Amino acid sequence: MLKLSSLYRTSSRFLAQGCLGVALALSSGYAHAQSITDITVAELSTVPLPDLAAKAWLSLDMNSGQVIAAKDINTEVEPASLTKLMAAYVIFKAIEDGRLSMDQQVPVSEKAWKTEGSRMFINVNTSVKVSDLLQGFIVQSGNDATVALAEAVAGSESAFVALMNEEAQRQGLNDTYYTNSPGLPHPDHKTTVKDLALLAQNLINDFPQHLHYYSQKEYTYNDIRQRNRNRLLWIDETVDGLKTGHTSSAGYCLITTALRDGRRVVTVLVGANSDAARTENSLKLLNWSFQNFETVKLLDQDKPVVDARVWQGLAETVGLGQSQPVWLTVPRGKAADIESVAEYTQPLIAPLEAGRQVGTVTLMLDDLALRQEPLRVLTDVEQAGFMSRMIDKVKLMLQ
């Protein structure tokens, strides 16, 4: 009797190009990797964690989407002006969808003008271009500019906050809830460093055309020059964002991102006791992450992980692999220890369409399964003629 389905398993060790990291603990609909374990990359290393003076923190490798290290990843925290990252996401989406334009004049309401906290110093009953408001909102962290943009996008700040919460749910930020757009203190206004890291990741990936605002060091409006509060922009030239936050109850907070030799790392640090402390500790975490871990391409786009036998097809084999590259983060020196285990359904019977998932490849380190990716057919395989199909059917029956 013809055996219709079985599981074929093959393994190989990655050498010079190989590397492995921990599956993305932040995994949502945005990440292509499947999470197998929630351990961090640092747990595979003998290097001690950095000693950071903060309530909670996290380091994320953007290339691989993996958490390098973290402390109190799911602890409820007050985001303060880090809230503006979600406001920015909703605003950028409105611009992308054509519901808001850069040269559009936005009327300044009394509500926006009166918003407390950091300010751009826009005047009530005037109009300000969206491009100016964006700089006041991002570079100067102006709460007045935030509310003005919120009203321009949704008609009212309360409606805009509803959009923020909807977007949080769409992104899988399950421990995040907003009550206002600038990040003013409120008992129900909350998030976690895990959610903040995922939000930062999505903002960078989805709106790279707007990231230049976050590295802008100063902006002048109404003859008032204000500097970006992210002091790392002056200290480290590889830092190009991302956002500061502070209230008396939240402490000093900073989400930082740096790009070094094509590798991007994001750090989230909340609850420091001073501006200097959040700056010093964020830089310490960035440097520690870059120095002790590396990220390399393990599985390349459209290059086979394995060549699989095909039955009843015009080709005898077909490559199985990835439709997009897979980057992984690993403690330095661990690359040669990585193994891949490919498992796929057998027999593979033509016709086969490119892109069809037929199995998985699991990435292993010291017999620990750390990450799993789909195995897909890389090229079409057409069905063979009648006689060739009959011969293959007989061969299968005799196996």
59, 141, 181, 289: the active-site residue: 141
284 is annotated as contributing to ligand binding: no
Q: Are strands 357-365 and 338-346 parallel, antiparallel or unpaired?
A: antiparallel
Share of the chain above pLDDT 70, in %: 90
Alpha-carbon gap, residue 213 to 158, rounded angstroms: 26
Q: What is the pLDDT of residues 51-96, one digit of tens each?
A: 999 999 999 999 999 999 999 999 999 999 999 999 999 999 999 9
Alpha-carbon gap, residue 340 to 361, rounded angstroms: 6
Decide if 129 is catalytic.
Answer: no
- Which whole number is the average pLDDT over 161-171? 98
Q: What is the pLDDT of residue 335?
A: 80
Q: Which of the residue ranges 94-103, 284-293, 334-343 would you say has the lowest mean pLDDT?
A: 334-343
Q: What is the pLDDT of residues 208-253, one digit of tens each?
A: 999 999 999 999 999 999 999 999 999 999 999 999 999 999 999 9
* Residue-range domains of the chain with CATH: 41-292 (3.40.710.10), 300-397 (2.60.410.10)
DSSP 3-state assignment of 305? Answer: strand
Q: What is the pLDDT of residue 36?
A: 35
Q: Which of the residue ranges 3-12, 48-57, 160-169, 291-300 would you say has the lowest mean pLDDT?
A: 3-12
Decide if 55 is catalytic.
Answer: no
Q: What is the pLDDT of residue 10?
A: 63
User: Which is nearest to 43 in space by CA: 259, 268, 366?
Assistant: 366
45, 64, 81, 118: the active-site residue: 81
Residues constituting the chain: 399
- Which whole number is the average pLDDT over 368-386? 89
What does the mean pLDDT of the chain come to?
89
pLDDT of 27 higher than 60? no
> pTM score, two decimals?
0.87
Q: What is the pLDDT of residue 353?
A: 95
Decide if 249 is catalytic.
Answer: no
45, 55, 64, 84: the active-site residue: 84
